[in-house]
């Protein structure tokens, strides 16, 4: 069926030349690029998340102070 003269012979090549086929290839390439970038950033993102979490925990005492300050000046 997919051999020379068959119903599906070179069908993928023909489909890849259509606008739909080109769009599909573009989307696939963009996904691959995104995955590559994301995988490269994962180690740095882990560190950034740890840092941000620690920072927010250390800022909690200021929350109480700011709430008291705001309560003092609110009508």
Question: Mind listing the pLDDT tens digit for each residue in 23-43?
Answer: 888 999 999 999 999 899 988
Give dist(CA 23, CA 26) in Å, integer: 5
Give dist(CA 53, CA 46) in Å, integer: 11
- Give the pLDDT score at 8: 66
Number of domains making up the chain:
1
Radius of gyration of the chain (CA): 28
Domain boundaries, position 55: 11-73
Q: Residue 2 domain-assigned?
A: no
Identify whether the C-beta of residue 24 lies closer than 8 Å to the C-beta of residue 31: no
CA angle 64, 65, 70 (to 5 degrees): 100
- Give the pLDDT score at 43: 86
Q: Residue 3 domain-assigned?
A: no
Q: Residue 39 domain-assigned?
A: yes
Q: Count the Cβ atoms, other than its own, within 10 Å of residue 57.
A: 9
Q: Residue 46 domain-assigned?
A: yes
- Give the pLDDT score at 5: 61
Name the residue with higher pLDDT: 17 or 31.
Answer: 31
């Amino acid at each position: 069926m997919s051999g020379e003269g068959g119903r599906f012979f070179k069908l993928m090549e023909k489909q890849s030349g259509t606008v739909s086929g080109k769009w599909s290839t573009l989307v696939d390439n963009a996904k691959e690029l995104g995955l590559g970038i994301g995988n490269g950033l994962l180690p740095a993102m882990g560190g950034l998340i740890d840092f941000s979490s620690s920072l927010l925990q250390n800022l909690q005492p200021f929350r109480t102070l700011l709430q008291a300050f705001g309560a003092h000046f609110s009508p």
